[in-house]
Amino acid sequence: MSQPITLTELDIAPSKDMTELFAHYQASAWAMLLDASGAEHSNADFDIMVAQPIATLITRGDHTHIEHPDGHCTSEADPLTLLKDWQQKLLGQQASFGDLPFIGGAVGFWGYDLGRRFEQLPCQSKDDYQTPDMAVGLYSWAVLKDKRAGCWYLIRHESYDAPDPGHLTTLANQTAEQNTPFSLTQPWQSNMTEAEYKKKLNRIHDYLLSGDCYQVNLAQRFTSAYRGDEWQAYLKLRQANQAPFSAFIRLENASIASISPERFLSVHSSGKVQTKPIKGTRPRFTDMAQDLASANELSQAPKDRAENLMIVDLLRNDISKQCQPGSVSVPELFAIESFPAVHHLVSTIEGQLEDNACPLDLLRGAFPGGSITGAPKIRAMEIIDELEPHRRNIYCGSIGYYSLCGRMDTSICIRTLLCEQGKIHCWAGGGIVLDSQPDEEYAETYHKVNKILPVLSGEAGVE
């Protein structure tokens, strides 16, 4: 059953940044920001902030714990089915409000290891995290900024409490109290040496030669200790990277700072589906001629184009499970998208969702994203679990929303950091194929974090 919704335009100047308002909420558990981070990008139209959910769903292994207005419960049912059912029960469904992408509903993350609920996978890698496999809140109010028009909106469901519009305007014009500055207390350290990384790459090469896979993504994890406010770290990373799928999530015992450039799955209220896999990376340079040459070399590189095409084919198959027959197409292949740290090779795959399918069905069928696993996906994930020392948790999972109007948008959690138990983790990886060169692949992992690790390091380096 639908709940009455009101939309209020807020009297906040277009020049104000969403972080200035969210800063007043960021310290509260379950405050979340989906942030285009000032990026001039086709996917950077709206910033969305939420807080004070009416219900939360946390999945660890086979169990999902639900906190809701009438109490709490635990279930072993499919976590995405639970999410769909509880959203329907508490908030119902709504028609779209113009072009607003989110009008209340689910916001949160789906960690890489949630894929174990959808596929049979081994459990060899170490799970040393407190952060769950899924953490999603159901939100009855949200603040959105339409970046193109410069307009701010509060959308709320009248059956639940929401902030006063005037109070939000006041907060946006006030400087939030500063917490303890963020700093690392030791150097970054990888969970594998260069020699170990190359040994694992050789093992993947053997699997490729034997026909197990065509491509396998191999990642290393960097870890440091820290003190201070994780929000301050996010602001530094945001400024340095300007990624269109940035996000900050505050949980009770962890924080996630993501500066991802990659869309996983989007679904428009019309049912149009889009995924934009990234596969292929080159570094940026301050010298314009050198930078252009780097981008041009990537656009023509046979290895990167072949690698990208493998993932395009995988994702065409993944989304076709829930799309209308004959509707899946590739309108853009091997486009170059440039970000402050790197150039990326990006393709676009589109389709039309089946009339009786839910966007969460699409998410389940394609999860985790093929661009960060390899092909074929399940065998690649088995090899990843064998060779990577630790589970990935948030890395290569997804952050995003599922709105009451049927829209969904999710990122791939690359360039994403997890802060918990006084430790901060950051990952970098790449797709390995038969002609991958060990030195180049190892160097590429560092290209991908050269606007992350040094930004937060201060005097600390990388071991």
pLDDT for the residue numbered 42: 65
Task: Render pLDDT for 191-243 as a digit per residue (tens, 0 to 9).
Answer: 999 999 999 999 999 999 999 999 999 999 999 999 999 999 999 999 999 89
Give residue 43's pLDDT band: very low, low, confident or very high (50, 70, 90).
low
Is 262 tagged catalytic?
A: yes
Find the catalytic residue in 230, 262, 388, 444.
262
CA separation for the pair 125, 433 (Å, rounded): 22
Is 388 tagged catalytic?
A: no
Residue 136 has pLDDT above 70, yes or no: yes
Task: Render pLDDT for 48-68 as a digit per residue (tens, 0 to 9).
Answer: 999 999 999 999 999 999 999
Tokens standing for residue 56: 């939360």
Residue 37 has pLDDT above 80, yes or no: no
Mean predicted lDDT score pLDDT of the chain: 94
Count H helices and E strands in the chain, helices first: 11, 25
Q: What is the dihedral of CA 101, 235, 22, 423, to 10 degrees?
A: 100
What count of Cα atoms within 13 Å lies in the side-chain half-sphere of residue 84? 16
Nearest partner of 243 among 368, 312, 146, 341, judged by Cα: 341
Can you give the pTM of this predicted structure? 0.95
Side chain identity, residue 420: E
pLDDT for the residue numbered 459: 44
Task: Render pLDDT for 239-259 as a digit per residue (tens, 0 to 9).
Answer: 999 899 999 999 999 999 999
Give residue 148's pLDDT band: very low, low, confident or very high (50, 70, 90).
confident
Collapsing DSSP to helix, strand or coil, 115 comes out as: helix
Give 333-389 as a DSSP string: EEEEEE-SSEEEEEEEEEEEB-TT--HHHHHHHHPSPGGGTEESHHHHHHHHHHHSS
Are residues 412 and 264 in contact, defined by beta-carbon separation less than 8 angstroms?
A: yes
pLDDT for the residue numbered 177: 86
Enumerate residues 6+ apart whose C-beta is below 8 A from 424. 184, 223, 224, 225, 226, 233, 417, 418, 456
Q: How many CB atoms lie within 10 A of CB 395?
A: 28
Judge residue 121's burial from the number of C-beta atoms within 10 Å of its C-beta, 0-12 exposed, 13-18 middle, 19 or more buried. Answer: middle
Nearest partner of 267 among 224, 317, 219, 322, judged by Cα: 322
Find the catalytic residue in 279, 377, 448, 451.
279
Residue 287 has pLDDT above 90, yes or no: yes
What superfamily in CATH does domain 5-457 come from? Anthranilate synthase (3.60.120.10)
CA separation for the pair 83, 91 (Å, rounded): 12
Nearest partner of 430 among 414, 438, 441, judged by Cα: 441
Percent of the chain at pLDDT > 90 equals 86
Task: Render pLDDT for 159-183 as a digit per residue (tens, 0 to 9).
Answer: 999 999 999 999 999 998 888 899 9
Collapsing DSSP to helix, strand or coil, 191 comes out as: coil
CA separation for the pair 141, 137 (Å, rounded): 11
pLDDT for the residue numbered 2: 56
Nearest partner of 48 among 413, 399, 363, judged by Cα: 399
- Which H helix or E strand runs over 88? helix 79-91
Question: What mean pLDDT do residues 375-383 have?
Answer: 96
Task: Render pLDDT for 301-332 as a digit per residue (tens, 0 to 9).
Answer: 998 999 999 999 999 999 999 999 999 999 99
Place of tokens 């590189």: 301
Give residue 41's pLDDT band: very low, low, confident or very high (50, 70, 90).
low
Are residues 197 and 423 in contact, defined by beta-carbon separation less than 8 angstroms?
A: no
Residue 462 has pLDDT above 50, yes or no: no
What count of Cα atoms within 13 Å lies in the side-chain half-sphere of residue 38? 13
> Range with the lowest mean pLDDT among 58-62, 105-109, 448-452?
448-452
**Cα angle vertex 425, ends 421, 430, to 5°?**
160
> Range with the lowest mean pLDDT among 150-154, 281-285, 367-371?
281-285
